[in-house]
Chain A
């Protein structure tokens, strides 16, 4: 189901990602059955929906970690390449944050954040590390630079992971359930960093179960169910006046009462 351009206040901005009829299969299982979605520059697009509805799959298709089986994904006006080398160039312009953080345990926080600039961008060590230090300061962890991931709390690790992605200076940030693996006390510190990023104008695609975040920070919300988007629109529409039964069901199951 497509969503009209009406009500899309920021549609005048350039389009960063366009998903058209995206299809993805795992053997006999249809993970995505034709997804249409636009992401404009500076927007925070939140993907919500039950587990297994395809949200994370779409994210992994966005940066080519998974190939699609049908449809098209356009990034900054050009179709997503199939060739691995060209894909790598695309990945440099996208930052990804994982549910399980996936910090590199054998490197310190500073080295983790500097790893991308050093290995992928070919920066020299002092340059990469000074950029890393700046990114760590941005997420509020300048003092944790020499620590290894095993010495950091979940929330701190996730913030370092965000800094690691930011150090590549991406055009868009992809978040795959960034707070799902965190203790309740530390969720807030991560969401705050994400809100700061949003306020600064970063384009973000966020798969999340944090409805408050989607409501307050999101510019556009897409509701997933069994591999397709059942409804999409501004947060006000989705959370206060949902147009489809499915959306109402999903939200009420979460205990969301408008």
Chain B
């Protein structure tokens, strides 16, 4: 059994574009789902009752439905409903955001609920309005406390982009799959893909851990 890794080097650009797409999709969907998740969490924490019910239903539904199903539905079924076709990348971005925002919302909620209630009391006792207290005292601490979970969120986001290969997004998984099929050298190609994903993912959680340990005291009340 001999391995010939030149298949990797001779298709560097092909695979490279896949890596770029993976990173772009990860970054984009990470940001959008964090933003959406934040808003959703606020709705759940401070919104009127009917909104809270809707939000909880949405969050629990995303715990039940696989990412693959959401992506496939967004790409193939949604255009039939709206009449608009979407390029694969956009469909992947939308699908991933819808799925990941639920997870992000739970992280935000857990962070906020972990802040001591005494902190709000102290802020209110000073004469702050509830809004001021939430903005200036509660949120900064909650953000710090969310950091550890944020690391695993990033990790999951990046891993989920690989599923977008199923709807023809030309990220790394898709490119590897194509190349492995064409070159009949799956071992070399998939080993390379595994290496790349590992190199991207492994430092991510470590880096978040590192940052958290240095700022943890800002959230400890």
Per-residue interface assignment for chain B, residues 204 to 221, with 1 indicating a CB less than 8 Å from any chain A CB and 0 otherwise? 000000000000011111
**Across the interface, which residues of B come within 8 angstroms of A149, CB to CB?**
221
Contact check, B218 vs A116: say whether CB atoms are below 8 A apart.
Answer: no
Q: Which of A19-27, A98-106, A185-193 lies at the interface?
A: A98-106
**A92 near B: Cβ within 8 Å?**
yes
**Across the interface, which residues of A come within 8 angstroms of B27, CB to CB?**
none
**B54 CB to closest chain A CB, in angstroms?**
27
Q: How far is it, in angstroms, between the C-alpha of A88 and the C-alpha of B124 when the chains are bound?
A: 8
Contact status of A120 and B127, CB under 8 A, knowing A102-B116, A105-B217: yes
Contact check, A119 vs B136: say whether CB atoms are below 8 A apart.
Answer: yes
Contact partner of B127 (CB less than 8 A), chosen from A104, A106, A116, A150, is A116
Contact check, B220 vs A91: say whether CB atoms are below 8 A apart.
Answer: no
Contact status of A150 and B220, CB under 8 A, knowing A102-B118, A106-B144: yes
**A63 CB to closest chain B CB, in angstroms?**
6
Contact partner of B126 (CB less than 8 A), chosen from A89, A91, A105, is A91
Interface set of A (CB-CB < 8 Å, partner B): 63, 65, 84-85, 88-89, 91-92, 94, 96, 98, 100, 102-106, 115-116, 119-120, 148-150, 164-165, 168
**Across the interface, which residues of B come within 8 angstroms of A116, CB to CB?**
126-127
Contact check, A102 vs B140: say whether CB atoms are below 8 A apart.
Answer: no
Q: How far is it, in angstroms, between the C-alpha of A115 and the C-alpha of B127 when the chains are bound?
A: 11
Listed residue (B119, B126, B128, B129) with the most chain A CB atoms within 10 angstroms of its CB: B126
Main secondary structure of the interface of B (DSSP, over half): helix
**B80 near A: Cβ within 8 Å?**
no
**B157 near A: Cβ within 8 Å?**
no
- A-B residue pairs in contact (CB < 8 Å), sample of 18: A63-B125, A65-B121, A65-B124, A65-B125, A88-B128, A88-B129, A96-B122, A98-B118, A102-B121, A104-B119, A105-B141, A106-B141, A115-B137, A119-B128, A120-B128, A148-B218, A150-B217, A168-B127
**Across the interface, which residues of A come within 8 angstroms of B140, CB to CB?**
106
Contact check, A98 vs B141: say whether CB atoms are below 8 A apart.
Answer: no
Contact status of A102 and B122, CB under 8 A, knowing A119-B132, A150-B217: yes
Nearest to A92 among chain B residues (CB) is B127
**Across the interface, which residues of A come within 8 angstroms of B217, CB to CB?**
105, 148, 150
Q: How far is it, in angstroms, between the C-alpha of A240 and the C-alpha of B116 when the chains are bound?
A: 41
**Interface size in chain B (residues, C-beta < 8 A):** 24
Q: How far is it, in angstroms, between the C-alpha of A126 and the C-alpha of B188 when the chains are bound?
A: 63
Q: How far is it, in angstroms, between the C-alpha of A164 and the C-alpha of B126 when the chains are bound?
A: 9
**Across the interface, which residues of B come within 8 angstroms of A164, CB to CB?**
126
Contact check, A106 vs B219: say whether CB atoms are below 8 A apart.
Answer: yes
Q: How far is it, in angstroms, between the C-alpha of A92 and the C-alpha of B129 when the chains are bound?
A: 11
Contact check, B125 vs A88: say whether CB atoms are below 8 A apart.
Answer: no
**A76 CB to closest chain B CB, in angstroms?**
15
Nearest to A89 among chain B residues (CB) is B127
Given contacts A115-B137, A116-B127, A165-B126, 16 further A-B pairs with CB under 8 A are A65-B125, A84-B129, A91-B125, A91-B126, A92-B126, A96-B126, A102-B121, A104-B221, A105-B217, A105-B220, A119-B128, A119-B136, A120-B126, A120-B132, A150-B220, A164-B126
> Sorted from nearest, which 4 A-B pairs have the closest CB atoms?
A102-B122, A92-B127, A150-B217, A96-B125
Contact partner of A168 (CB less than 8 A), chosen from B126, B137, B218, B219, is B126
Contact check, B136 vs A115: say whether CB atoms are below 8 A apart.
Answer: yes
Per-residue interface assignment for chain B, residues 135 to 161, with 1 indicating a CB less than 8 Å from any chain A CB and 0 otherwise? 011001100100000000000000000
Contact status of A104 and B137, CB under 8 A, knowing A119-B132, A150-B217, A150-B220: yes
Contact status of A105 and B218, CB under 8 A, knowing A98-B118, A115-B136, A119-B136: yes
Per-residue interface assignment for chain B, residues 75 to 118, with 1 indicating a CB less than 8 Å from any chain A CB and 0 otherwise? 00000000000000000000000000000000000000000101
Contact status of A102 and B128, CB under 8 A, knowing A65-B121, A115-B136, A119-B136: no
Contact check, A105 vs B221: say whether CB atoms are below 8 A apart.
Answer: yes
Contact check, A115 vs B126: say whether CB atoms are below 8 A apart.
Answer: yes
Q: How far is it, in angstroms, between the C-alpha of A104 and the C-alpha of B136 when the chains are bound?
A: 10
**Across the interface, which residues of A come within 8 angstroms of B123, CB to CB?**
104
**A176 CB to closest chain B CB, in angstroms?**
10
**A170 CB to closest chain B CB, in angstroms?**
10
**Across the interface, which residues of A come within 8 angstroms of B125, CB to CB?**
63, 65, 91, 94, 96, 98
**Across the interface, which residues of B come within 8 angstroms of A63, CB to CB?**
125
